[in-house]
Amino acid sequence: MNALGKHILAEYYGCDASILNNLELLEQSMLEAVMKSGATIIDSSFHQFSPQGVSGVIVIAESHMAMHTWPEYCYAAIDFFTCGNRVDPYKAFDFMNEILKPEKCSTKELLRGILAHESQKLMEIPF
């Protein structure tokens, strides 16, 4: 099935609260995860909440990757959304799994922009 994009919704349970509250570590890790996926970074914005928690988004030429953490629940949610066939969002997911070391992780994969006809081909956009 041809789709314009792949969207992985990941939930990480039982993570170390100190990691989930470490803005610098999370931003650097997400940037590295994006690079491992093969995506092209456009911009990055992360925010430390008080008393705890981090939210961040990395805009990539192929869409975005975003996260929010709840250290008080040892929980993080990350979206890995990529368009086209050149980028592998599972490489970013695997890397963040190594960083967060959750006791449990679950994912849902959504195909976005499913093309009406199998004969339609995805255009490759050079970045």
Per-residue pLDDT tens digits of the chain, which is 127 residues long:
577 889 999 999 999 999 999 999 999 999 999 999 999 999 999 999 999 999 999 999 999 999 999 999 999 999 999 988 889 999 999 999 999 999 999 999 988 888 776 555 655 555 5
Is-contact 50 63, C-beta < 8 A?
A: no
Residue type, 17: A
Q: Which domains does the chain have, with CATH numbers?
A: 17-114 (3.60.90.10)
Q: Which residues are catalytic?
A: 63, 68, 83
Residues whose CB is less than 8 angstroms from the CB of residue 28 and which lie 6 or more positions away in sequence, other chains included: none
C-beta pairs of 21-24 under 8 Å, 24+ apart in sequence = 21/48, 21/52, 21/53, 21/54, 21/69, 21/71, 22/54, 23/47, 23/48, 23/54
